[in-house]
Amino acid sequence: MSKTTNISIKEELVDLYLSNLDLITDNSTPTLNRGRQSAIENFNLLGLPDAKNERYKYSKIEPLFTQDLEKYFAPKDITFKIDDIFRCDIPEIGTDLALVLNGFYLPKGDKLTKLDNGLIYGSLAEASIKYPEIVSKHYNSIADNVGEGLVALNTAFVQDGVFIYVPKGVEMNRPLQIINLLMSDENLLVQYRNLIILEESSSASVVVCDHSLSSQKFLSNVVTEIVAKPNSKLELVKMQNEHNDSTQLSHVYIHQQKDSKVTTNTISLHGGFIRNNLNVLLDDAGCENSSYGLYLMDRNQHIDNYSFIDHAKPHCTSNELFKGILDEQATGAFNGRILVRRDAQQTQAFQANNNLLLTADAKMNTKPQLEIYADDVKCSHGATVGQLDLEAKFYMQTRGIGEKEAMLLLMIGFAHDVVKKITIEPLRERIDELVNKRLRGELSRCHNCPMHCC
């Protein structure tokens, strides 16, 4: 039965591609078009991840695609002034701001912005015309189109997304912010693509915020490729804050070259169904990777974090910390795969996943997966699923702190372990504040935003 549905969903998507091929390619660019044919062939082979796919054991993908979803191959005309409806709170940290609406870059002026220091950001489609050599060299170079059906699907349909290019030696000291907005009067499937390139010895920090601004069903299938060249440094903070009828399938691929340092921090505040795939390749000596995540789920929300840290070369360090709080009937999964290849001597790899379940109905599946083929390595992993510490709660109560407040303080403290890893101080404070509000039930959105999207 599920086999038949699978085939039909897959065929439907392939059909959609074939019957709209002209529209898809005409609205796009040679660089983005180049990968489509083989991608759809791969997708035709792979299909959507199904029950037999061990990596997707706890997240059923097929049913997500059976909903009625509109697809657009060019930006849909939505006439509004973005400033009227959306004022995100985080820009106060002095960021450069890039807006993406339903997967299409939303220019305030030009489709590409070049800062004084040479940093370029803007529309990926536009970049593939203006800087074809840079884009074609990196685009689709690290995303896995052969093993991951959802990525192949994205590559076949992609139209736009965000492009960030940090030239050699450029140190961007203020964060660049990308805000992904979903807004539509129909249910929508969006599949966009981000490409972030850090040239040698450059550094940048990027904040990505995902929001839904209308109550329709959204399914985002998003691929982000990050190339960190020798001695470069990136901090990426991703805030997921979409409503309970939205689904996000995120695939991040990071290619780290010699002595590069990449930190990602994925804060899942809200969302109906979230699957985060994080794939890190440590491809030369001296790389440092930190992957952090925090998820706060309630009602029937579902979160699934999958990470794959590939220690391909010696003398690299990776550090993972994922923490989550699940309330009511929320469900979650964590699968942390670490591969230490035979040549990757002197690897240090650490992983921890800690979870708090606030109710008997909330469920969490956590699975470390270490494959170590080198002998001179230092690895550790630990996973916990527990409840709030009642002794600590009582201790606080004996100081006059009410039971609810005591529980909140404990949860905030638990979450802060992840938030404190954010090095951009104003951003860390802001996120702390958002997390506090989220846990207090006061937040379903950034608090300056007038839209009630959750």
Q: Footprint of other proteins on this chain (CB under 8 A)?
A: 389, 391-392, 394-403, 405-406, 409-410, 412-417
Query: CB of 293: closest distance to other proteins in angstroms?
Result: 16
- As a whole number of angstroms, the distance between CA 330 and CA 24 comes to 38
Q: Which of 12, 77, 68 is nearest to 40 (CA)?
A: 12
Query: CB of 354: closest distance to other proteins in angstroms?
Result: 10
- Count the Cβ atoms, other than its own, within 10 Å of residue 256: 30
φ, ψ (nearest 5 deg) of residue 126 = -65, -40
Instruction: Name which of 63 and 382 has its Cβ closer to other proteins.
Output: 382
Instruction: Name which of 81 and 399 has its Cβ closer to other proteins.
Output: 399
Buried b / exposed e over 82-104, threshold 16 CB at 10 Å, is: beeebebebbebebbbbbbbbbb
Query: CB of 409: closest distance to other proteins in angstroms?
Result: 5
Instruction: Name which of 67 and 387 has its Cβ closer to other proteins.
Output: 387
Q: Which of 299, 252, 303, 300 is nearest to 280 (CA)?
A: 252
Query: CB of 136: closest distance to other proteins in angstroms?
Result: 47
Query: CB of 383: closest distance to other proteins in angstroms?
Result: 17
Instruction: Name which of 263 and 354 has its Cβ closer to other proteins.
Output: 354
Query: CB of 372: closest distance to other proteins in angstroms?
Result: 29
Q: Are 332 and 361 in contact (CB under 8 A)?
A: no
3-class state of residue 192 by DSSP:
coil
- As a whole number of angstroms, the distance between CA 32 and CA 157 comes to 9
450, two tokens? 């007038």
Instruction: Name which of 54 and 389 has its Cβ closer to other proteins.
Output: 389
Give the single-character DSSP code of 342: T
What DSSP string describes 396-422? HHTTT--HHHHHHHHHHHHHHHHHTT-
Instruction: Name which of 382 and 413 has its Cβ closer to other proteins.
Output: 413
Query: CB of 388: closest distance to other proteins in angstroms?
Result: 11
181, two tokens? 């907005």
Instruction: Name which of 129 and 409 has its Cβ closer to other proteins.
Output: 409
Helices 2-19 and 149-157: crossing angle, nearest 10°?
A: 20
Query: CB of 411: closest distance to other proteins in angstroms?
Result: 9
- As a whole number of angstroms, the distance between CA 163 and CA 225 comes to 10
Beta strand extents in 199-272 (DSSP E only): 203-212, 218-228, 233-241, 246-256, 261-270
- As a whole number of angstroms, the distance between CA 334 and CA 410 comes to 22
Instruction: Name which of 109 and 400 has its Cβ closer to other proteins.
Output: 400
Instruction: Name which of 205 and 354 has its Cβ closer to other proteins.
Output: 354
Q: Are 313 and 283 in contact (CB under 8 A)?
A: yes
Instruction: Name which of 223 and 418 has its Cβ closer to other proteins.
Output: 418
Query: CB of 321: closest distance to other proteins in angstroms?
Result: 13
What DSSP string describes 132-144? HHHHHHHTTSSS-
Instruction: Name which of 174 and 416 has its Cβ closer to other proteins.
Output: 416
Query: CB of 305: closest distance to other proteins in angstroms?
Result: 20
Overall residue count recorded for the chain in this entry: 454
Query: CB of 325: closest distance to other proteins in angstroms?
Result: 12
- The number of CA neighbours under 13 Å toward the Cβ of 82 is 17
- Count the Cβ atoms, other than its own, within 10 Å of residue 314: 19
Query: CB of 416: closest distance to other proteins in angstroms?
Result: 5
Amino acid identity of residue 417, one-letter, is: D
Instruction: Name which of 306 and 322 has its Cβ closer to other proteins.
Output: 322
- As a whole number of angstroms, the distance between CA 133 and CA 150 comes to 26
